[in-house]
Amino acid sequence: MLPGCTRCWRNYTAESCRGTVLGAVAGLQHPLSAGGQVQDPHRHPQCRMHRLSPSASPGSTATPRSWTLDPSGDWYYWWISIMALPVFYNWIVLICRSCFPDLQEQHMVLWLSLDYLCDVLYLLDIAVRLHTGFLEDGILVRDRGRIRQRYLSSPSFPWDLVAVLPTDLLYLRLGPGVPAVRANRCLRAPRLFEAFDRRETRTAHPNAFRIAKLMLYVFITIHWHSCLYFALSSWLGLGTDAWVCPNASRPGFAHPLRQYLHSFYFSTLILATVGDTPEPRREEEFLFITAGFLLAVLGFATITGSISSVISNRNAADAAFYPDPEPVRRYLRAQGVGGRLSQRVADWHQHLRAQQKLPAERLVLRHLPRGLRADVAASVHLPALRRVGLFQSWEHGVLQQLVLRLQPQVFGPGEFVCRRGDVGREMYFIREGRLAVVAEDGVTQLAILGEGLYFGEISLINIKGNTSGNRRTANIMSIGYSDLFCLSKEDLAEVLVEFPSARAMMEAKGRELLLRMGKLDVHAEAVAAAMAEEAEQRVQALETALEGLQTRAARLLAQLESSAFKLALRVERLDPPPPKPLTPPGA
């Protein structure tokens, strides 16, 4: 064994024992170097044991740094959006060139240039797939070897490979006028569908995008059908009967564009099943038009299902955002209530939709994790809360907890938010609108409350000396449409328990307001404070007495154990063990 190998073996066994248990903790407490290894100062360069140690295992060796795309990131999204273009090109242009030979011959250089540009993009897409990470246990894997192995073993790799096979070499035998040899380029259609799915999740108008995508599929279907119709007409003979496409002897039909437009129009009539098409005369024509009718039935069913899905999704989205006024209207009609109240209900619902107010905000965000839900709610409502004078000096953590408990409410013109004498169960923050503090007659306005103000907190917090208890102290009426934040008593109590400084601040402001209103009994407040202090002293005295009793009980228990131990020793001395039996001789 080389010198130092004994020490190496000892270090190796120690590392092996603690590596499996403390490896993750050590990795968190001590950041690794860029290579991912921790250097051992006692490592012997010639000892074979170090090549077996955990720090030298293949899983922890340094890997070459390379660029890796996040499949949910922006770069990957824009790349697959670019890849949709060559897929579109091959699906639309290739069939057209194959069925219209004149179109292929007139623009040969252009088509070859675009073909090989698409091939380059296909090859680059394979390289991108080899550098696109994947999620494992919620963490993006960036290891180049694992990414390559995952892609090469995926079902999409054989299709991607077949799509870039150099089938253009058949041009050497068949000539460049046969673009159908590149039909394998259409196998990259799944990449197009992936781009559509990504776009649908990112667009602000998913329903409009679904309709546009559906219309695109309809166009591609009619396009392929028109190209096949012209190919069948060319095989049967152009202009031989009224059903096939006219030949070049008819004015204007010598140009490929006119031939394509006629074929597209004819295919649209067939697939739309509107009739007004020449009667087929040959077996091939009957078969083709029958297949077109069957395809039209399938297309109509698909379009109908897609449109109904879009409509139902939009209705479901509206139902999730805004309440349905129809059940309330039916209830009012069933109870025989007059039309004025029903009109107020309709106006309230119309205001919600027109101004995009969301009373059911919690239901919309209920599926998000709590942290993400807090971030979304804070980004929407935190600027409005900052404008409330009460919250301007509060900590950010208090507002972060508070914003999750706020319930938006919208009040219409002339509607009372609260009345004097009612039991207070929530407080309100004015986000938008104007409210009036009115007298008992409901008309005389005593004060106007605007954006950034709040009310109703006095009935929620327990202020000593408050003569009104938990009753409302004023009548608050909405002048126009008012957008308020509502905070219940239970939610406010939970927040204030976690942040006592905010509670003290709110109690101080409430005490000032009660003093101005003459509803704070200073004597009763002093008596309550004295009673609270006396109760605190009693509690401290009881705690002291309880500690003394615990100490005495511990001493008594120790004395009892000592006495029991001494008694056991005395019993053992008074009662000696029995003598052992004698063994007979010769046994």
**Residues 292-334 pLDDT 10s:** 888 888 887 887 777 777 777 666 666 666 667 777 877 887 8
Average pLDDT, integer, range 73-94? 92
513 and 378 inside one domain: yes
Question: Which pLDDT tens digit goes with each residue over 260-303?
Answer: 999 999 999 888 877 678 888 889 989 998 898 888 888 878 87
Domain that holds residue 97: 64-202
Question: Which pLDDT tens digit goes with each residue over 17-32?
Answer: 344 333 433 333 333 3
Q: How many CB atoms lie within 10 A of CB 372?
A: 11
- Using the structure block, give the residue that is written with the tokens 């709590």: 370
pLDDT band at 226 (very low <50, low <70, confident <90, very high): very high
Comparing CA positions, the residue from 128, 195, 121, 134 lying closest to residue 163 is 121
CATH number at residue 461: 2.60.120.10
Comparing CA positions, the residue from 489, 321, 341 lying closest to residue 415 is 341
Question: Which pLDDT tens digit goes with each residue over 40-83?
Answer: 434 443 433 333 333 333 444 444 456 788 888 889 999 999 99
170 and 275 inside one domain: no
Q: CA 29 → CA 26, 54, 55, distances in Å?
A: 5, 18, 16
Question: Which pLDDT tens digit goes with each residue over 144-201?
Answer: 899 999 999 999 999 999 999 999 889 888 888 889 999 999 999 999 999 998 888 8
- Sheet containing 416-418: give its strands across: 416-418, 475-478, 435-438, 445-449
- 395 falls within a domain: yes
Give me the helix-helix angle, 156-163 and 144-152, nearest 10°. Answer: 80
505 within 8 A of 393, measured Cβ to Cβ = yes
- 460 falls within a domain: yes
Question: Which pLDDT tens digit goes with each residue over 481-492?
Answer: 888 888 888 887
136 and 108 inside one domain: yes
Integer-rounded Cα Rg, in Å, for the chain is 42
Give the distance from CA 307 to its chain's centroid.
Answer: 26
- Which residue type does 264 have? F
91 and 45 inside one domain: no
- 127 falls within a domain: yes
The overall pTM is greater than 0.85? no
173 and 145 inside one domain: yes
- Which residue type does 222 have? I
| Strand-pair category, 454-455 with 407-411 | unpaired
Which of 202, 217, 241 finishes a domain? 202
Alpha-helix runs per DSSP H in 153-273: 156-163, 171-174, 189-202, 206-236, 256-272
Average pLDDT, integer, range 400-407? 78
189 and 145 inside one domain: yes
3-state DSSP assignment of residue 337: coil
Q: How much is the pLDDT for 462? A: 67
pLDDT band at 507 (very low <50, low <70, confident <90, very high): confident
268 and 187 inside one domain: no
Residue 13 in this model has a pLDDT that exceeds 80: no
CA distance 574 to 570: 6
417 and 437 inside one domain: yes
pLDDT band at 36 (very low <50, low <70, confident <90, very high): very low
- Sheet containing 482-488: give its strands across: 407-411, 482-488, 426-432, 454-455
pLDDT band at 115 (very low <50, low <70, confident <90, very high): very high
Q: How much is the pLDDT for 451? A: 83
**Domain total for the chain?**
4
115 and 176 inside one domain: yes
- 31 falls within a domain: no
514 and 396 inside one domain: yes
CATH number at residue 308: 1.10.287
Residue 464 in this model has a pLDDT that exceeds 90: no
504 and 379 inside one domain: yes
- 22 falls within a domain: no
505 and 441 inside one domain: yes
pLDDT band at 584 (very low <50, low <70, confident <90, very high): low
Does residue 562 or residue 505 have the better pLDDT? 562
- 540 falls within a domain: no
Residue 385 in this model has a pLDDT that exceeds 60: yes
Which of 179, 202, 225 finishes a domain? 202
pLDDT band at 89 (very low <50, low <70, confident <90, very high): very high
